[in-house]
Structure 1
Amino acid sequence: MARKKSRQFGNSNQRKLVTYLEPKSPISEQFRTLRTNIQYSFIDEEMQTIMITSSGPTEGKSTTAANIAVVFAQQGKRTLFIDADLRKPSSHYTFSFTNNVGLTSVLTRQIELGKAIQIVEPLGLHVLTSGPLPPNPAELLSSKSMNELINQTKEDFDIIIVDTPPITAVTDAQIIANICQGVVLVVSSGRTQVEDAVKTKELLLNTGTKILGAVLNNRKMKDNTYYYYGKK
């Protein structure tokens, strides 16, 4: 697969990437625990495609998704992060990349996948940003091109992490859930309402996708850890 360009990590725009900037911190250790639990969730099949979503906005799903991708790349896995939030994308800010081309460009066949992917060095983490925002996100994500893209990436990468919009806001996440092997749900302490989390779980179960677990975000624990992963 052709590489478009690489970008070295810096400290200016990667403050949310604690797994890279502070790899020995308690939070980074929890992300590594999350990685291990995800891997053990798939015993009888090869696990490659994981969707990260939340009930509503500003619950930390994109930050969680980016850090999960980082810890898989740190493990030596050939990892691809796909920003499938075609309404409020953020990966180009997180990884300090341009967003002139990306997922939407590939789906509309304006550019080949390999030329749209950008690489974060020194991790070797591959990133497919959202690309220009389309007028029809749900239609693009449910297209034959999206299925073809996922199938292609499964041939080229060990792990594909897909960031989506909140599941209760639009149908996009439910569409993506149908083509991913598992879902991790991010909930925010003090923000996510119980009824919203329950509704989100029901919507995900209706897609037939395996719910791998939940990440409780923004809650300071007594042992100074901030994330907890629990298998459903």
Structure 2
Amino acid sequence: MDRQDGRMDFDALLAQAQAAPVDGWDFSWLAGRATEQRPSWGYARLMAQRMARSRVALDVQTGGGEVLATAPRLAPLTVATEGWPPNLARAARLLGPRGVAVLAHGEDRFPFRDSVFDLVVSRHPVRTQWPEIARVLAPGGTYLSQEVGPASVFELVEFFLGPQPEHVRDGRHSRWTRRGAHDAGLEVLDLRTERLRTEFHDIGAVVFFLRKVIWMVPDFTVDGYRDTLRRLHDRIQADGPFLAHTTRTLVEARKPAG
């Protein structure tokens, strides 16, 4: 503890964050340390509504299965895929008792036949595989996803990496979402983006976030960025929470019935 004011010191905060487990997609460790405004549409609620009226459903890049598990009623046949081994094991433990088959899958061709699913969902996919989504959707089937939008949390990214080129900041713009869906032969039913407040209240929250969301600062390690972490710690101590902005895009698309 800092002797002057009782606040945890820099090294103690780093040690706590480095010891925290980062498997799955559970951010509860950040309670009291960081806040994130939620999109107005409520993805989990929308997903659950569509899941309840589906027959055969697929959750792509399910993470640890935490979001899919919130649906009170799943499709009679529900399958999930995940590519990161720690998440895969966690998802299997969580979803297996509900009859969900969890398959190991990265970013290659989906291991399913054509026109199988009447619903495909995905929350925060690393990359949306539009041709594969269109291929496995049954005619009239729908795809529902909440994507990470353009320049999300880039105040934090650029604190560590410096100014990013425009093509990187723009890479997740909704116009690319619309184009990807259209090029795959899908009809976009809903497409909207919101910019939301995110606050990091201590440096431990920053370390945990960057350890978990590894594509934000791809080469992040505490030792490699110790001086930058110290500068950010001092800034938070002096000025209060570090403010960033997340962006989220909701997309719903349908495969033509014909």
State the TM-score, normalized to the length of structure 1: 0.44
Structure with a larger share of its residues in strand: 2
* Larger relative contact order (CA 8 Å, sep ≥ 6): 1
**Structure with greater Cα Rg:** 2
TM, length-normalised to structure 2: 0.41
